Amino acid sequence: MYELYAQTFVNGINVGALYGLAAVGLSLTFGVMKILNIAHGEFLMVGGFFAYWLFTLLGLDPFLSLPLIALALFLLGAIFYKLVFASVARFHEEVKVKNSLLVGFGLFLVFPQIARGLWTADERAITPAYSGTSFPIFGVRVAYVPLAGLIVTVVVILALHFFLTRTYFGKSVRGTSENWKAAKLMGINVDRTYMITFGLGTALAGLAGVLVALAQSVTPDVGMEWTIKALIVVVLAGIGSIGGAFFAGLILGIVEAVGAIFMGPYSVALGLVIFLLILMFRPQGLFGKG
Amino acid sequence: MILEVSSVTKAFGGLVAINDLDLAINEGEVVGLIGPNGSGKTTSFNLISGFIKPDRGEIIFNGKDITGFKPHRICQYGIARTFQLTKPFAGLTALQNVMIGMMYGEGKIRSVAKAKMECEKILEFVGLARRGQAPVTSFGTVDRKKLEIARALATRPRLLLLDEMMSGLTATEMEEAVRLVKAIGDSGITIIVVEHVMKAILDISSRLIVLNYGEKIAEGEPREVVRNEQVIEAYLGE
Amino acid sequence: MIHWKKGALSAGIVLILVLIPLFVQRSDIITYLFLTLLYIILAQSWNILGGFTGQQNLGHAAFFGVGALTARYIWLHYGFPLPLAILGGGLATAAFALIIGFPAFRLRGVYFIIGTLVMAEILRMVFDNVFPRADVMPMKLLATYNLAPRYYVGLLFAVLSVVAVYWVNRSRIGLGMMSIREDEDAAEATGVNTLKYKLLAFAISTFMAGLAGGVFAYYTAATKVGDLFAPVWTFDAVIIVFVGGVGTIVGPIVGAVFFVLLKQLLSLYLPGGMHVLVFGVLFIVVVLYLPGGLIGLMAKLRKKPA
C-alpha cells in the first residue's frame, strides 16, 4: 500500500513539474502584458514536434536540443506577437484581455491544422535509449527522464527568476508590468519589452513541449489540453504569480495522480473542481496577494 | 438630514485615504467638496456610491443604513453619480444611455415607450435636445458631460454626486454648466460637487467642505472657508 | 414603414423555408439547410451573452453538449416526447450553467472566460473516458429515419431563437445587458444589477445552446458522447457570430449561411479539415480589422458607395 501511494506521489510530481513549466510562461505573459494567450499550449505542441524532428532527423538528444528549441520558439513567439498580438496590446485593459483571448482562440484553429500538415496526425514521442530506465529508492522507482525533466524545470524557473530580478531588462519587464504608462515615460520601449516577454513565454512553452514529448507524447491536438492545465495552474497559483505557478503545478499533478487511484477516469474533473473552489473561496489564488 | 457619513475610514494597503470622516448633508443643499489632489474627494464619492466599502464607520442615506451596499442598490435608493472621466455607454445612442438610467434607477419605468418620452425631456433639459439618436462616439467633451448628467438625472436621484464636471470645459461651456447645476439644485435635488475650478464652485455651492489627507479640515459658508488659513496652507502646500 | 417591410421580408423567408422540403427532394440540400438552421440557434445563443452582454463564453460546447446529452437520454431511454425532451435539455443546461456562472461572474475580468473554457474541455475529457463508445439510435428509429421532421424542428427553434433575441434586444432587459457590455462601472452606477443581468443573459444563452443541442440530438443517428462536447461547437458558434456581426440580430443569420456555404465550397477544393485553417485565419482577421463583421462591412459600403 505504501509503495502504491509513494509511487503515485512521485508520478504526480513528475507530471506536476510539466504543468508548472507549462503554466509559468502563461503566467509571465499575463502578468506583464495583461494578455492571456490561450494558444500557449499550441506553442508547447510546436516545441515538442521541433524536438521530435531534431531527434529523428538529426539524432540530436532532446536535452541538448533544449536551447535550440527555446531560441526557435522565442523567435516564433516574437513573430506572432508582431503579427497579431501587438495590435491587441494597444487596447485598454478589459478589451485587451478579451481580444487577446479571441485571437488566441483563432490560433487554436490554425496551429493544429498546420501541425497535421507538417507532422501528420499521429502521436509522436521522443524515445532515446535511456527512456524508460529508472532506479529504485525507498521502494519507489524513479525514472531518469522525468527526474531530469524536473531538474530542467527547476533550473529554468530559477534562471527566469534571476533574469527578472537581477538584470536591467528584467527590471524593465517588471516595471512595465506594474505600470506600462509610467515605464514608457521612464524611457522603456514598451513594445519591445512586450515582444521579448511574449517570446520568453512561448520559449518556456517550447521547453515544456520538449519535456512533454519526452515523458509522454505529442499530437497536433494536444495544445488545448495543455492550455487548460496551464490555466488551472495559473488560477490556482494566483494570476500573475510566476513562482507560485511551479508549486501550483506540482499540487495539481499530485492531486490528479492520487485522485486517479480513487476516481479512475473521473479524476480529470478534479482540475475543474479545484478551479471552482479557488474561484469561490480564494480568488487571488494560493500564492497571490490578498 | 439626507446624508450622514459618520467616522468612515478607508485605507488602501498602508495608505489611509479617508480618515474618520464625518459629513452631514441637508436636503436641498448644494455642497462643494474641495481639497488638494489626493485629499480623498473621489474616494469619498466612491464610498458614498458604493464602489468601495469602508473599513470602518457607517453611511446613512435618507434614514437608511446603506453601508456596504452595492452601487446599483444605492442608485435605486436615490443616489446618482457622475464620473471624473466620463463613462458613457459608448456603443449606444444618447437616448439609450439615458433610458438605461430611467429604466433601472429609482424610478424604474418598465415601458420602453414611456421611458423614451421622459428621456427626451431630460436630454432637452441638459441641452442635448434632438441629439437622442446620435451615437455617443460623435460627442465632444462638453456633450459627454451633459450626457453623463442626463443619465444620472434619469435615475430620479434625491442626491446627485458630480465629480469634476468643469474640467476640460471652455469658459463659455463652464457658464452653461454652472447654470445647469443651479437648475438641478432649484428642482430640489441635493447635490455634492467635487471641483477644482474655484470660481465655479463658489458660484454653485451654498456650503463648502474642505478635505486634506482624507480628513475634514474646514467647512462652512464658501467665501469664509476659502479665507481660512488652514485651507490656504493646504492648497499652497500642494 | 421600415418595420412593416422587415416583418414582411422575414415572414416571406420563413414561408419559403417552410415550403422548401415539399419541392426539394435532394437530401444533401436539406441537410445543409438543417445545419444552417442549427448554427443559427447556436450562434444566436452565443450572441446573447457574448455579443449583447459582452461576456465571451469560450466553452459554449459544454452547454450544447449538456443539452444534447440530456435531451437524447430522456427522449430515447425514458420515452419523453420529443418537444419535452428538447425543452428539458435546455432547462437542464441553464441550471448547470449557473454552477460555473455564479462564482465566475462574482469576479470580474477573465475568470468567466477561463472558467467556461476549462469546464468545456474537462467535461469533454470526462465524457470521452466514461462513454468511449458511440451512442446510436435504436434500430426501430433508424429504419424510419426521415430528414424532413428534423428540418422542421430545426426551423421551429431557429425562428423561436431569432424572435427571442429580437425581443430581448428591444426590451428593458436588453438595454441592461448592453450597458454591462459598454461599461460595468457605469452600469452599476446607473442602477443595473450587473451580476444579476450577467447571470440572466448566461441562463438565456445556455438555455438556447441546450435547445440547439437537443435539436442535434434528434438529428444525429450516431455520435460519440465526447463529440457533443467537442470545442468545434464553440469555434463554429464564435466564428459565425464574429464573421456575421457580433452584437447584432442579423449577424448570426448571415454568418451561419456564409459559414455553411464556404465550408462546403472549401471542402471541394481543399484536403479534409483544411477549411478550419481558413476559418481560423478569417476569424483572427475579423477580430483585429473588421470588428463589425459582414453586417458592419455592408453598412460601411452602403454609407460610402465606391
Provide the pLDDT confidence category of residue B237 given band limits of 50, 70 and 90. low
Please, which residues 154-173 of chain A have a Cβ atom closer than 8 Å to chain C?
Answer: none
Distance CA B127, CA C32 (A): 54
Interface test with B, best of C167, C169, C190 (most B CBs within 10 A): C190
Provide the pLDDT confidence category of residue B229 given band limits of 50, 70 and 90. confident
Residues C106/C198, Cβ–Cβ less than 8 Å: no
Please return the burial class of C33, using the count of CB atoms within 10 Å of its CB with bins 0-12, 13-18 and 19+: buried
Domain count across chain C: 1
**A18 in a structural domain:** no
Q: Residue C306: its pLDDT value, please?
A: 47
pLDDT at A50 over 90: yes
**C15 in a structural domain:** no
Give residue-wise pLDDT tens across range C43-53: 999 999 999 99
pLDDT at B235 over 80: no
Give residue-wise pLDDT tens across range B175-215: 999 999 999 999 999 999 998 888 888 889 999 999 998 99
Domain range for residue C73?
33-230
Quote the pTM value: 0.90
Q: Does C231 touch chain A (CB under 8 A)?
A: yes
Please answer yes or no on whether C284 and A84 come within 8 Å at the CB atom.
yes
Within 8 A by CB and 6+ apart from C275, the residues are C262, C263, C266, C267
Residue length of chain C: 306
Contacts of C106 in chain A (CB under 8 A): 279
Q: Which of A262-266, B124-128, B169-173, C264-268 has the lowest mean pLDDT?
A: A262-266
Residues B203/B175, Cβ–Cβ less than 8 Å: no
**C22 in a structural domain:** no
pLDDT at B236 over 70: no
Q: Does C186 touch chain B (CB under 8 A)?
A: yes
Handedness of CA A115, A117, A123, A129 (dihedral sign): negative
Please answer yes or no on whether C238 and A235 come within 8 Å at the CB atom.
no
Q: Residue B83, Cβ neighbours under 10 Å: how many?
A: 23
**C304 in a structural domain:** no
Please answer yes or no on whether C186 and B80 come within 8 Å at the CB atom.
no
Within 8 A by CB and 6+ apart from A271, the residues are A228, A229, A232, A252, A256, C118, C122
Q: Which of A191, A226, A181, A166 is nearest to A86 (CA)?
A: A191
Q: Does C232 touch chain A (CB under 8 A)?
A: no
**A43 in a structural domain:** yes
Residue length of chain A: 290
Give residue-wise pLDDT tens across range C193-233: 999 999 999 999 999 999 999 999 999 988 888 889 998 99
Q: Which of B229, B213, B237, B190 is nearest to B32 (CA)?
A: B190
Q: Which of A57-71, A228-242, B124-138, C245-259 has the lowest mean pLDDT?
A: A228-242
Q: Residue A286: its pLDDT value, please?
A: 82
Among the partner residues A94, A108, A271, nearest to C109 by beta-carbon distance:
A94
Please answer yes or no on whether A110 and C99 come within 8 Å at the CB atom.
no
**C282 in a structural domain:** no
Size of interface B-C (CB pairs under 8 A): 87
Q: What is the mean pLDDT of chain B?
A: 91
Amino acid symbol at A53: W
Please answer yes or no on whether C114 and A97 come within 8 Å at the CB atom.
no
List chains adjacent to chain C, taking adjacency as at least 3 C-beta pairs closer than 8 Å.
A, B
Q: Residue A60, Cβ neighbours under 10 Å: how many?
A: 16
Please answer yes or no on whether C193 and B90 come within 8 Å at the CB atom.
no
Contacts of C191 in chain B (CB under 8 A): 72, 75-76, 100-101, 104-106, 108, 155
Contacts of A37 in chain C (CB under 8 A): none
Q: Does B57 touch chain C (CB under 8 A)?
A: no
**A160 in a structural domain:** yes
Provide the pLDDT confidence category of residue A77 given band limits of 50, 70 and 90. very high
Residues A109/C280, Cβ–Cβ less than 8 Å: yes
Q: How many CA within 13 A on the CB side of residue C87?
A: 7
* Helices A242-263 and A144-166: angle between axes, nearest 10 degrees: 150
Q: Does A266 touch chain C (CB under 8 A)?
A: yes
**A3 in a structural domain:** no
* C160: its cell numbers: 423561436
Across C191-267, the runs of DSSP E, i.e. the strands, are: 222-224
Domains and CATH numbers, chain B: 1-78+158-174+185-238 (3.40.50.300), 87-156 (no CATH)
Distance CA C124, CA B34 (A): 58
Domain range for residue A210?
23-222
Q: How far is CA B58 from CA A224, B7, B64, B127, B161, in A?
A: 49, 7, 10, 37, 18
Distance (Å) from the C-alpha of residue A223 to the closest C-alpha of chain C?
12
Distance CA A205, CA A227 (A): 10
Q: Residue A132: its pLDDT value, please?
A: 78
Please answer yes or no on whether A108 and C107 come within 8 Å at the CB atom.
no
Domain count across chain A: 1
